[in-house]
């Protein structure tokens, strides 16, 4: 019985390292890219292989990110109990696990989807781990902006899986996710500022100060919401999506404005962070419903 419990805890730790909550959003945004790319029937096998391959790539990036950041994570209250900082999973095993997930992702996408989607997924892993995690995160507050590039790739992978190329619609989806990530993450750093300062990470709220970070959150939120509306005039989405994007966007802008106007904004910043994840999930769900059911 104890052996079984120990194995269950180990499996849970490996699963936790893949950041499954983030992966759910990755899967949904990838599906949005698939659905937005073409109105033609999508083969179930292609869709499943694309979603699984992209999810494995995201999991690989998360595990390798945790491997590199284990020293920082040990200093932060939000992350100090993760499997690597506590020693429940050894760094060597985590590194091997992350590499294996990336290799399986690439092979699956080449084999069952196409080379372009595989290259995009692999490029996202390498950029996120090699450029964002290993370099930019420890050197500049602009890491969140530049690091948003790999985080915005999933819908592009979905688009490429169906069409074999990257079209204008895919670039708009990329832009939406790219612009969403700074306000999403900066909201977290506002109410977790002491954590990042303790770990010596030059994140926006530490390096720029709270006032500039709040202004940047509002700026990016405004541009992001404007870009979400572009899908309607481009005739890539219909009225249901437009109405959904407007309602969801007003909520995001309202919270961002409240954060920018409040001196002690920890509670509001936390609310914005917690709203930002379902915001993006619901936005892409509206795209899928609009393209597959309501038009």
Mean pLDDT, to the nearest integer, of 6-26? Answer: 93
Render pLDDT for 129-181 as a digit per residue (tens, 0 to 9).
999 999 999 999 999 999 999 999 999 999 999 999 999 999 999 999 999 99
Render pLDDT for 111-137 as a digit per residue (tens, 0 to 9).
999 999 999 999 999 999 999 999 999
Render pLDDT for 185-227 as a digit per residue (tens, 0 to 9).
999 999 999 999 998 999 999 999 999 999 999 999 999 999 9
C-alpha span between 147 and 294 (Å, rounded): 35
Residue bearing the bigger pLDDT, 1 or 251: 251
Task: Annotate the chain with three-state secondary structure.
Answer: CHHHHHHHHHHHHHHHHCCHHHHHHHHHHHHHHHHHHCCCCCCHHHHHHHHHHHHHHHHHHHHHHHHHCHHHHCCCCCCCCCHHHHCCCCHHHHHHHHHHHHHHHHHHHHHHCCHHHHHHHHHHHHHHHHHHHCCHHHCCCCHHHHCHHHHCCHHHHHHHHHHCCCCHHHHHHHHHHHHHHHHHHHHHHHHCHHHHHHHCCCCHHHHCCHHHHHHHHHHHHHHHHHHHHHHCCCCCCCHHHHHHHHHHHHHHHHHHHHHHHCCCCHHHHHHHHHHHHHHHHHHHHHHHHHHHCCC
C-alpha span between 111 and 106 (Å, rounded): 8
7: pLDDT strictly greater than 80 = no
Render pLDDT for 246-283 as a digit per residue (tens, 0 to 9).
999 999 999 999 999 998 899 999 999 999 999 999 99
Q: What is the pLDDT of residue 56?
A: 98
Q: What is the pLDDT of residue 2?
A: 64
Question: What average pLDDT is seen over the chain?
Answer: 95
Assign domain 1-139+153-163 to its CATH architecture: Orthogonal Bundle (1.10)
pLDDT band with cut points at 50, 70 and 90 for residue 20: very high
Q: What is the pLDDT of residue 258?
A: 97
Q: Where are the domains of the chain?
A: 1-139+153-163, 167-295
pLDDT band with cut points at 50, 70 and 90 for residue 100: very high
Q: What is the pLDDT of residue 293?
A: 66
Q: What is the pLDDT of residue 295?
A: 53
Q: What is the pLDDT of residue 69?
A: 97
Q: What is the pLDDT of residue 1?
A: 61
33: pLDDT strictly greater than 70 = yes
**pTM exceeds 0.85, yes or no:** yes
pLDDT band with cut points at 50, 70 and 90 for residue 9: confident
Q: What is the pLDDT of residue 254?
A: 98
């Amino acid at each position: 019985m104890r052996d079984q419990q120990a194995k269950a805890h180990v499996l849970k730790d490996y699963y936790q390292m893949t950041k499954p909550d983030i992966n759910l959003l990755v899967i949904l945004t990838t599906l949005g890219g698939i659905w937005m790319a073409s109105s033609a029937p999508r083969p179930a096998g292609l869709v499943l292989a694309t979603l699984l391959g992209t999810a494995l790539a995201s999991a690989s990036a998360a595990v390798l990110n945790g491997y590199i950041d284990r020293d920082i994570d040990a200093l932060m209250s939000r992350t100090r109990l993760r499997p690597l900082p506590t020693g429940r999973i050894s760094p060597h095993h985590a590194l091997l696990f992350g590499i294996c997930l990336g290799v399986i992702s690439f092979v699956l996408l080449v084999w069952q989807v196409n080379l372009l989607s595989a290259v995009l997924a692999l490029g996202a892993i390498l950029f996120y781990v090699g450029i964002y995690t290993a370099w930019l995160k420890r050197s500049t507050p602009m890491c969140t902006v530049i690091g948003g590039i790999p985080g915005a790739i999933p819908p592009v992978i979905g688009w490429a899986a169906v069409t074999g190329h990257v079209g204008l619609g895919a670039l708009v989806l990329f832009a939406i996710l790219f612009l969403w990530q700074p306000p999403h993450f900066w909201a977290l750093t506002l109410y977790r500022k002491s954590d990042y300062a303790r770990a010596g990470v030059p994140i926006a709220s530490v390096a720029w100060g709270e006032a500039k970070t709040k202004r940047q959150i509002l700026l990016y939120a405004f541009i992001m919401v404007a870009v979400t509306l572009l899908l309607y005039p481009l005739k890539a989405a219909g009225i249901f999506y437009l109405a959904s994007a407007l309602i969801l966007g007003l909520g995001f802008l309202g919270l961002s404005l409240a954060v920018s106007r409040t001196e002690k904004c920890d509670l509001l910043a936390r609310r914005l962070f917690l709203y930002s994840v379902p915001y993006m999930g619901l936005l892409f769900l509206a795209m899928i419903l609009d393209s597959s059911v309501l038009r």
